[in-house]
């Protein structure tokens, strides 16, 4: 790979029809000059790859990060940018991108229509401490799809509070055309509010009123999910939630349990009555998916030997169950019944799936009316 990149840079080889490029860069055994070679390739891409639209970079180095964060529209035709690790989105390799790096990259590339990145929290380079970042709101009018996976370094796994830069990142960008949002965070303690809450509630930040799909894989409290659901725009069509549970550690021990409860399905249940006190949450929802993490399946549903040594009150505190089949069925029924068209059935939802484990799931796929 290094020889190819070096020859491409030295010879200024042109790829006039190239539209997509993926570079996997590993820190293990890399050539001493490879750091600058990759960034040099990126700097000439505007000329050598004029039709390049998608760039996927797996693995980073200091020169590449510097080029991405400081170069405005380094390849203006690029619409899709993916920044992950060389071993996938879950394990970081080599240099890491913090929230401030991500904000700088986005601010330099307002032409992007999709952006996927693995973001390392608790970075030394912070948004909050930089006036040029924290006091600005960068407009991304073309961004339609955003996928951010927030990751905590192993040595920082037991921080008392989540990194506030996760929230600052969303406060500093405006995505008025956003259609798909995917956010992941599996840190401890669980979040007390979703990091993109300003996009739903802050009048100083542009709302995401065109959002059609939301994918959440966040360790958060039930209250945080409730607040998020209530504020979601009516444009939403697809909602997928991976229930990682809530995990909190305090002086009395560890509390864990489901994030998604019956109360959340009750919020999503349509009410045909004239009761104005009932919120109409996600009225245009077409697809709903709930995936229960393997951790919750094993700890909250499987009896453990240690459970016999704790009181009933302590056990209830440690095991907070998720949704019940009866409430799930009521949610499905409310989304498939008539909403006032006489005897005609108007199905407003097309698909519902609740995955409890690889061998146990509930799946509904409804035909169009």
Q: Any idea where the domains of the chain sit in the sequence? A: 57-365
> What is the model's pLDDT at position 364?
56
Which residues lie across from 180 on neighbouring strands? Answer: 145, 213
Termini Cα distance of the chain: 54
What's the average model confidence in pLDDT over 25-49?
A: 62
| Integer-rounded Cα radius of gyration of the chain | 23
Quick check: 134 pLDDT over 70? no
Three-state secondary-structure class, residue 48? helix
Share of the chain above pLDDT 70, in %: 67
Arithmetic mean of pLDDT, 104-125: 91
> Residue 225: its pLDDT value, please?
97
37-47 per-position pLDDT tens digit = 666 667 667 67
DSSP-assigned letters across all residues of 201-228: H-TTS---TT--EEEEEE-B-HHHHHHH
Mean pLDDT of 191-196: 95
- pLDDT for res 327: 92
157-181 exposure pattern, b = at least 16 Cβ within 10 A, e = fewer: eeeeebbebbbbbbbbbbbebbbbb
- pLDDT greater than 50 at residue 215: yes
| Residue 106 pLDDT > 60 | yes
Which of 41-50, 172-181, 217-226, 242-251 is predicted with the least confidence, judged by mean pLDDT?
A: 41-50
Q: Which of 26-35, 123-132, 218-227, 288-297 has the highest mean pLDDT?
A: 218-227
How would residue 91 be classed by pLDDT, with cut points 50, 70 and 90? very low
Residue 113 burial class via C-beta count within 10 angstroms: exposed 0-12, middle 13-18, buried 19 and up: middle
Confidence of residue 368 (pLDDT cuts 50, 70, 90): very low
Question: Which residues partner with 248 through β-bridges?
Answer: 255
Residue 64 has pLDDT above 90, yes or no: no
- Higher-confidence residue: 93 or 71? 71
Residue that has been written with the tokens 């989105």 in this structure: 89
């Amino acid at each position: 790979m290094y020889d190819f990149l070096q020859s491409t840079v030295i010879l200024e080889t042109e790829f006039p029809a190239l539209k997509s490029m993926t570079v996997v860069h590993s820190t293990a055994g890399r050539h001493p000059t490879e750091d600058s070679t990759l960034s040099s390739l990126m700097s000439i891409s505007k000329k050598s790859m004029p039709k390049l639209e998608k760039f996927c970079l797996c693995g980073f180095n200091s020169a590449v990060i510097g080029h991405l964060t400081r170069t405005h529209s380094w390849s203006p035709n690029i619409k899709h940018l993916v920044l992950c690790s060389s071993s996938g989105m879950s394990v970081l390799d080599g240099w890491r991108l913090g929230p401030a790096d991500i904000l700088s990259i986005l601010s330099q590339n307002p032409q992007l229509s999709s952006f996927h990145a693995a973001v390392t929290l608790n970075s030394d380079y912070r948004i909050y401490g930089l006036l040029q970042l924290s006091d600005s709101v960068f407009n991304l009018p073309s961004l339609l799809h955003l996928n951010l996976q927030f990751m905590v370094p192993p040595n920082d796994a037991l921080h008392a509070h989540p990194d506030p830069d996760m929230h600052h990142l969303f406060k500093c960008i405006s995505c008025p055309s956003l259609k798909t949002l995917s956010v992941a965070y599996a840190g401890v303690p669980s979040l007390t509010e979703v990091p993109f809450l300003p996009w739903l509630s802050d009048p100083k930040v542009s709302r995401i009123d065109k959002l059609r799909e939301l994918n959440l894989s966040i360790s958060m409290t039930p209250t945080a999910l409730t607040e998020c659901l209530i504020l979601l725009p009516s444009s939403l069509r697809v909602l997928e939630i991976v229930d990682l549970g809530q995990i909190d550690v305090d002086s009395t021990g560890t509390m864990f349990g489901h994030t998604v409860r019956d109360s959340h399905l009750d919020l999503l249940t349509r009410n045909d009555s004239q009761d104005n006190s009932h919120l109409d949450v996600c009225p245009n929802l077409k697809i709903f998916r709930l995936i229960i993490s393997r951790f919750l399946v094993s700890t909250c549903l499987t009896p453990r030997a240690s459970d016999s040594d704790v009181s009933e009150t302590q056990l209830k505190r440690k095991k907070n169950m998720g949704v019940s089949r009866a409430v799930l069925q009521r949610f499905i029924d409310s989304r498939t019944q008539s909403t006032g068209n006489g005897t005609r059935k108007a199905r407003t939802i097309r698909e519902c799936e609740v995955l409890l484990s690889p061998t146990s799931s509930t799946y509904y796929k409804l035909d169009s009316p």
